[in-house]
Amino acid sequence: MDKTQLIDQTAVFIKSKLTGEGSGHDWWHIYRVWKNAIHIAEFEQADLFVVELAALLHDIADWKFHDGNEDIGPQQAREWLEGLGVDEKVIGHVCTIIQDISFKGAGVATNMKTIEGMIVQDADRLDAMGAIGISRAFAYGGSKGREMYNPELKPEQHDSFEQYKNSQGTSINHFYEKLLLLKELMNTVTAREIANKRHKVMEDYLQEFFKEWEGKD
């Protein structure tokens, strides 16, 4: 099986697994990350095969929906890729990217080791920004039964992954705990340029949100 067939088969597999998921981590999130990653990779010296596989498989089993288990995603990705007969070096690289891709709190470093990982991480973070990022924040918050906003609950800057995983903050707080921080965490020049625009969209949205909250429209 050639690389194109492996990518296509992986896309079909992930689409069947995640279609209809309602928290913003569905097939279309994967699709957007995949396409963003390909776009960013056009400007970098990277192994596109690794980039595409990691983008497609990065949320195969997100820790957020598996009791905080950080290992289940890489494990399931490995099982899938081994079943396709993918080279072990590629499998190891893809699984390391999946292991390291997540934002883990404002005070926690999440540095990628390879350009392929940087590209996929940037693509994933871009999908948490802008108009789509706003939509996904509320979809996820609703799926977890969280309040949209409560001015009595202040945002937290989490100093450990455990603190971040156990956070029960509101959807609006999530902007200050993660989404507005992403612009400065982009790895590549291409992603930074895209992030600047999407960051402004979120800032404008929040300005309008708080005006309406106080009845100042």
Between 25 and 150, whose confidence is greater? 150
pLDDT number for residue 63:
57
- Average pLDDT, whole number, for the chain? 91
pLDDT number for residue 193:
97
Residues 11-21 have a mean pLDDT of 92
Nearest 5°: the CA angle 10, 13, 17 is 140
Asked if pLDDT for residue 15 goes beyond 80, the answer is yes
pLDDT digits over 31-51, tens only?
999 999 999 999 999 999 999
Report pTM.
Answer: 0.92
Token match 């279609």: residue? 19
Cα–chain center distance at 125: 5
Q: How many structural domains does the chain have?
A: 1
Asked if residue 125 lies in contact with residue 186, where contact means CB atoms within 8 angstroms, the answer is: yes
Token match 């079909």: residue? 12
Q: What is the CATH number of the domain that holds 78?
A: 1.10.3210.50
pLDDT number for residue 69:
61
pLDDT number for residue 144:
87
pLDDT number for residue 67:
61
Which structural domain, as residue segments, surrounds residue 206? Answer: 3-213
What is the dihedral sign for C-alpha 206, 174, 59, 14?
negative
Asked if pLDDT for residue 66 goes beyond 60, the answer is no
Asked if pLDDT for residue 121 goes beyond 60, the answer is yes
